[in-house]
Amino acid sequence: MAKISFKGNIGKKDAILRTVGEGENKYSVCDFFICENVGVKGTDSERGVWYKVTLWRGFADKLCKYLTSGRYLMVEGDVSKEPHVYTSGNSVRSYVEVNAREITFLDNKGKQETVTPEDAEGEIETTTGAEEDTPW
């Protein structure tokens, strides 16, 4: 599996938490879309690259409520499939599916918080910046 790292903003919709499986094989999955701007800002070369990011089990349960529209994140993970390509009106659009291994919140007044699936059992703590009432 190819590893990938990118920064961007969550799209217009907040992350969606769902449960899959049955009985002892039941677990949580959280999905959201994030757009990375690439190219030179303000020129014709600027464009957005879209990713569908998936979090699993406790990682999904812990973070999904914080993954809201517009949040600025860095995601590290594994590319799970070939890019999805589809048409929308007269344009061709695509996105890449990524299974997240690490999420870093970058948009909270200079604070930065990195969370991994292993952290899902513990509390989210602030790693830099001044103290506030938010979890990072």
* Structural domain count of the chain: 1
- Asked if residue 126 is part of any domain, the answer here is no
**pLDDT tens by residue, 95-136:** 999 999 999 998 755 566 777 777 655 554 433 333 333 232
56 in a structural domain: yes
Mean pLDDT for the stretch of residues 74-89: 87
Q: Which residues constitute the domain of residue 20?
A: 3-121
Tell me the pTM.
0.76
Say which CATH number the domain at 24 has: 2.40.50.140
Between 124 and 31, the higher pLDDT residue: 31
Report yes or no on 131 lying in a domain.
no
State the average pLDDT for the chain: 81
pLDDT value, residue 122: 53
Is 53 within the bounds of a domain?
yes
For 91, residues 6+ apart whose C-beta sits below 8 A from its C-beta are none
Amino acid in the structure at residue 133: D
SS3 40: coil
Q: Which segment of 25-39, 42-56, 58-72, 79-93 scores lowest on mean pLDDT? A: 79-93
For the residues 37-55, what does the mean pLDDT come to? Answer: 85
Residue 73 lies in a domain: yes
Cα of first residue to Cα of last residue in the chain, in angstroms, is 30
Residues 124, 21: Cα–Cα separation, whole Å: 27
- Taking the CA atoms of the chain, what radius of gyration do you get in angstroms? 16
